Every structure is written in structure tokens, then in C-alpha cells.
Structure 1
Amino acid sequence: MAEASKTKKLNPALAKPLQPSPELAAVVGSSPLPRTEVVSKVWEYIKANNLQNPENKREIPADAKLQAVFAGKDKVSMFEMNKHFAHHLS
């Protein structure tokens, strides 16, 4: 039984490809993606465009593309991001 509890099962809802909104598609592309892949692609975008606050790495200052995803906010915390993605995936 200890063996079974060590095995981590993936949540099938996280693996289901979802269609990004036009705003999110501007960052991650227009193909349906699982949530995990959306998060990865957004982080790639953030790092490629140097959008992480160097003094507070949890803070993401938004450029024009990310502002459209983050409900017009100038900056969000890394923990807030997933909440905003939920509004842009169907």
C-alpha cells in the first residue's frame, strides 16, 4: 500500500487541451493546450521578454500582451497568474 501512495496521479483536467482566447493566444499560440503547457509557455514569454521584477521575482510587470490577459493590470504576482488564465481558456 505504501507503494501506491507514492505514485502521483495526474489530474486529467490539467492534461485536457483547452482553447486559448485571442488575448492569451497572442502569448502562447492559438492551438489548444493543456493548462500545464499554457503556464510553461507564459513563463517562457516572461523570461524571453525580461518581465520578472528583479527585486521581487514573484512580481510580473505586464507588457501590452500580458495586460490583455491580466484584466488590464500593470502587474500581477506569479500566484495570481493562473486565476487570470482560467478566464482565457475554454
Structure 2
Amino acid sequence: MLSSGSIKPAQKERKPKKEREASDESPRKGKRQKGSTGFLAPLQLSDALMKFIGTGETELPRSDVVKRIWDYIKENNLQDPADKRNIICDEKLKELFEVDYFTGFTVSKLLTAHFIKMK
């Protein structure tokens, strides 16, 4: 049977927060370093995508390509005024994606065919 007094578990001695942060040298903490892995890795572009972008670049990170596509969409007012999630393709986008329209969420999916896997 337990006694009526409560027993507290031994408390772990803790350093003040500033000391813990200063001594924690984990590579996951703090600012991330830009590298050539994951989303920041430059990918080989298809000829059609290079033509669309028009800068002569043969490799770009996926995030840069998506940003440039969205910049193009906004500059050319290609969003459907009734529902801005829908994109109405002009001739240049039709040539690239081979569709008349698409939803904005599918930009990355449509671009997948234009990234050449490097070995």
C-alpha cells in the first residue's frame, strides 16, 4: 500500500538555456547551409523548358523554375479572373505543357517531364 505522502521523482539537473544553446553544436540547429542536394540541387532542363525560360541556362533548381513559371503567369495575366487557381495557357505555355489550362497546384507536376535525370 502507498503512503499518503507524495514522492517526487529525482529532478534532472539542467543548465540555463543560454548555456545549453551555446554547448549544442548539432548540425541540425541554427541556419541551414545551402548545398546542392534536395530542392536546391540544380536539375538538367529539357530543350522545351530552356526555350521557354529563354536565358540559355541548362540547369536550374526546381524552386527557381516554378518561380519563373509563376512570374510568367502573373506578368501575362493568365489566371482565370473567375477563379485565380485556374491558369489559362497562352501559346507559349500550351507549347511547353501541351494543355489548354491547368490548376496552379499542378505546376510542379507538369514540370516533372521537363527535368532530365542526371546519372
Q: TM class by shorter-chain length?
A: 0.7 to 0.9
Following TM superposition, the consecutive aligned residue runs of length 4 or more in structure 1 with deviations greater than 4 angstroms are 3-11
Q: Secondary structure at the match of 1:59?
A: strand
Whole-Å separation in 1 of the counterparts to 2:112 and 2:49? 10
Query: Which has more radius of gyration?
Result: 2
Indicate which of 79, 104, 113 corresponds to 1:78.
104
Q: Partner residue of 2:64?
A: 37
1:12 positional shift: 2.4
| Distance in structure 2 (CA, Å) of the matches to 1:59 and 1:80 | 10
Question: One-letter code of the match for 1:24?
Answer: L
Q: Is the 8 A contact 1:26 1:65 kept in 2?
A: no
| Runs of 5+ unmatched residues, structure 2 | 1-20
Letter of the 2:41 counterpart: K
Deviation at 1:50, TM superposition (A): 1.0
**Number of the residue aligned with 1:18:** 43
Higher strand share: 2
Q: Percent identity?
A: 39
The one-letter code matched in structure 2 to 1:49 is: N
SS of the counterpart of 2:60?
Answer: coil
Q: What runs of 5+ residues in structure 1 fail to find an aligned partner?
A: none
CA contact (8 A) 1:14 1:36 kept: yes
Q: With the length of structure 2 as denominator, give the TM-score of the two structures.
A: 0.61
Query: C-alpha separation between the residues in 2 aligned to 1:22 and 1:62?
Result: 19
1:48 and 2:75 aligned? yes
By how many angstroms is 1:17 displaced? Answer: 0.9
TM-score by length of 1: 0.79
* CA 1:8–1:55: 2 relative to 1, 3 Å: farther
Please give the root-mean-square deviation of Cα atoms over the aligned residues, in Å. 2.4
| Paired residues, number | 87
Aligned twin of 1:63? 90
Q: Offset at 1:49?
A: 1.0
